[in-house]
Amino acid sequence: MPLRLAFLMLGLFLGSAAALGQTKPDKLEGLWYNDIKSAKVEITKGADGKFYGKVVWLKEPLKNGKPKVDELNEDPKLRSRPRLGLQLLNGFVKDGDNKYDDGTIYDPLNGKTYSCKITYKGNTLDIRGYIGISLFGRTTVWSRAE
């Protein structure tokens, strides 16, 4: 009987330790295609509890036989950084079940950063970039890539 009890206790300990080590990912986390399916962005939750997204795949990663770079960035020092691995989404805070606010989105097609909010809609995300208030902005729809 004591041996069974020892195995039972060991099983409970290992099971609870595994449960403590793993947290369920947020529904926003994962791989997403941009609106024109030219890139995949991986969205993850940072150690600060905010959400971030970086480019992990490009349909056309090369330009003139070389990796594409962030050539339109407003900061000349950043124009040589590769587009692959570029962080586009920064600092989003979950606000309710399906909304993520207070973040920014960087658009490498024009080199500008915008205020942004994200609305989760199952297999799609409404990504609204704007200047000032969200009334003056543009929404694109990203789709889940997984």
pLDDT per residue over 72-85, tens digit each? 999 999 999 999 99
Average pLDDT, integer, range 83-96: 97
pLDDT band of 9, cuts 50, 70, 90: very low
Residue 62 structure tokens: 């090369």
Q: What separation in angstroms does the CA of 132 have from each of 26, 102, 104?
A: 28, 12, 12
* pLDDT for the residue numbered 86: 97
pLDDT per residue over 62-74, tens digit each? 999 999 999 999 9
* pLDDT for the residue numbered 11: 46
Pairing of strands 99-107, 87-94: antiparallel
pLDDT per residue over 114-132, tens digit each? 999 999 999 999 999 999 8
Give the residue with greater pLDDT, 37 vs 136. Answer: 37
Given a contact cutoff of 8 angstroms between Cβ atoms, the answer to whether 142 and 129 are in contact is no
* pLDDT for the residue numbered 115: 97
Own/partner contacts of 24-31, CB < 8 Å, gap of 24 or more, are 26/51, 26/94, 27/120, 28/92, 28/94, 28/100, 28/118, 28/120, 28/125, 30/144, 30/145, 30/146, 31/56, 31/144, 31/145, 31/146
* pLDDT for the residue numbered 44: 98
Average pLDDT, integer, range 12-39: 75
